[in-house]
């Protein structure tokens, strides 16, 4: 299993959906930039992308902001995993944004503030928003570089101006397809499932659409907000409030055993003709491998029996049994092997 594909993004700055209540930071879209500004940003992003293609750790580290050069190991591991996926790809800089946070002031205790950038796209009602918690003051840019080949990827970069040069402040690699289809396809399929009253399939395919279309976790837009609204609306009642260890999805097997799932998502690590269903199973202890595998298989059977619509939408099922203090025990079976 290609575990690195589970790493959606590595942010050198803490990233999330937090929204800052003020709008003092300034966003400049590429259509609003001064002559040469976009070319400068595109060239900086292209240099970073080529270094990743070549797995050139020394060049990339030299072009990283100083505070993150000290511990480069996390970035290095993601670059090692990403490089083979984009090595021969053709580069295209899709979008660049200037994000000016130079007037940000630290809080009384010295903590970096949250920053929000609101960008109007092409003098329309469409917007993009960047909400970055704990951002050090400075002049930033966000660039998206499409890596075009058989299985396209996008490398998104947060950059900060250092001594007149643009340096890496965040790296967000992402595959743009899953099982050969892009995010818009999964969005359309999710709507088709919803029309057929297949709520679970709709919700899970909407998750896959969001994973493929979202450049980084701190980025939103008018388009992505609509997707998020549909994802929330399509959530089955059993998971509408979210899943967690404290609030799992409980499914009963034919023998009356209860299986408690703390997460249900989509997985494309096997690269099959369809994506897989992935479920995390809460257990008290794993037991020996034979016991753990049988429990995982029984949990698969119970989950598919409870929601038979999964059979047409997914190649198979991954179950990750998770017990305190030990690594998860994973089992995968194709739908044809699940009885």
* Residue 24, pLDDT above cutoff 90: no
Neighbours of 22 (CB within 10 A): 10
Same domain, 128 and 265: no
User: HEC string of 58-111?
Assistant: HHHHHCECHHHHCCCHHHHHHHHHHHHHHCCCEEEEEEEEEEEECCCCCCCCCC
Q: How far is CA 327 from CA 44, 135, 283, 290, in A?
A: 40, 33, 12, 16
Residues 123 and 45 reside in one and the same domain: yes
pLDDT of residue 2: 34
Candidate from 122-136, 167-181, 196-210, 251-265 with smallest mean pLDDT: 122-136
Domain match, 41 and 153 both: yes
pLDDT value at position 274? 98
Q: Please give the residue range of the domain that contains residue 293.
A: 249-337
pLDDT digits (tens, 9 = 90+) for 84-127: 999 999 999 999 999 999 998 888 888 998 999 999 876 667 88
Does residue 242 fall inside a structural domain?
no
Range scoring the smallest mean pLDDT among 105-119, 157-171, 186-200, 205-219: 105-119
Cα separation of 156 and 46, whole Å?
Answer: 11
Question: Is 331 found in the same domain as 223?
Answer: no
pLDDT, tens digit, 9 for 90 and up, residues 239-270: 999 999 999 999 999 889 999 999 999 999 99
Does 152 score more than 90 pLDDT?
A: yes
Copy the structure tokens of residue 50. Answer: 């080529």
Residue/partner pairs of 103-110 with CB below 8 Å, 24 or more apart = 103/24, 103/25, 103/137, 104/24, 104/25, 104/135, 104/136, 104/137, 104/138, 105/137, 106/137
Residue 104: inside a domain, yes or no?
A: yes
pLDDT score of 123: 64
The verdict on pTM exceeding 0.85 is yes
CA–chain centroid gap for 200, Å, is: 20
Residue 3 pLDDT:
30
Looking at the structure, tell me whether residues 164 and 263 fall in a common domain. Answer: no
With contact defined as beta carbons under 8 Å apart, do 113 and 132 qualify?
A: no
- Whether the pLDDT of residue 286 is over 70: the answer is yes
Do 136 and 265 lie in one domain? The reply is: no
Band (pLDDT 50/70/90 cuts) for residue 326 is: very high
Q: What is the CATH number of the domain that holds 55?
A: 3.10.450
The mean pLDDT value for 194-211 works out to 96
Q: Is 244 inside a domain boundary?
A: no
Inside any domain, residue 241 = no
User: What's the mean pLDDT in 278-286?
Assistant: 97
Do 100 and 220 lie in one domain? The reply is no
Confidence label for 10 from pLDDT (cuts 50, 70 and 90): very low
Mean pLDDT to the nearest integer, 214-234: 92
């Amino acid at each position: 299993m290609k575990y690195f594909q589970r790493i959606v993004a590595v942010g050198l700055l803490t990233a999330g959906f937090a929204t800052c209540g003020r709008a003092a930071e300034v966003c400049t879209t590429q259509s609003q930039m001064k002559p040469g500004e976009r070319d400068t940003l595109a060239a900086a992003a292209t240099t970073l992308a080529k270094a990743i293609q070549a797995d050139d750790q020394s060049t990339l580290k030299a072009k990283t902001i100083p505070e993150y050069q000290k511990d480069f190991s996390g970035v290095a591991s993601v670059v090692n995993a990403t490089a083979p996926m984009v090595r021969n790809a053709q580069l295209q800089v899709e979008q660049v944004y200037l994000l000016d946070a130079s007037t940000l002031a630290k809080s009384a205790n010295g903590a970096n503030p949250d920053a929000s950038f609101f960008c109007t796209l092409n003098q329309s009602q469409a917007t993009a928003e960047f909400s970055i918690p704990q951002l050090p003051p400075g002049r930033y840019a966000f660039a998206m570089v499409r890596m075009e080949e058989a299985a396209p990827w996008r490398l998104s970069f947060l950059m900060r101006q250092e001594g007149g040069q643009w340096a890496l402040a965040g790296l967000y690699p992402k595959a743009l397809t899953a099982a050969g289809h892009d995010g818009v396809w999964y969005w359309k399929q999710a709507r088709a499932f919803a029309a057929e009253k297949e709520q679970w399939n709709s919700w899970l395919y909407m998750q896959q659409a969001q994973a493929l279309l979202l450049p980084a976790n701190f980025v939103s837009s008018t388009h992505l907000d609509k997707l998020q609204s549909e994802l929330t609306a399509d959530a089955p009642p059993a998971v509408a409030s979210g899943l967690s260890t404290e609030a799992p999805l409980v499914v009963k097997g034919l023998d009356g055993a209860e299986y408690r799932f703390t997460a249900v998502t989509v997985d494309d690590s096997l690269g099959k003709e369809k994506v897989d269903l992935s479920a995390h199973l809460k257990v008290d202890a794993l037991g020996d491998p034979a016991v753990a595998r049988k429990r995982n298989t029984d949990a698969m059977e119970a989950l598919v029996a409870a929601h038979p619509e999964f059979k047409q939408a997914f190649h198979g099922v991954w179950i990750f049994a998770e017990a305190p203090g030990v690594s998860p025990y994973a089992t995968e079976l194709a739908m044809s092997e699940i009885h």
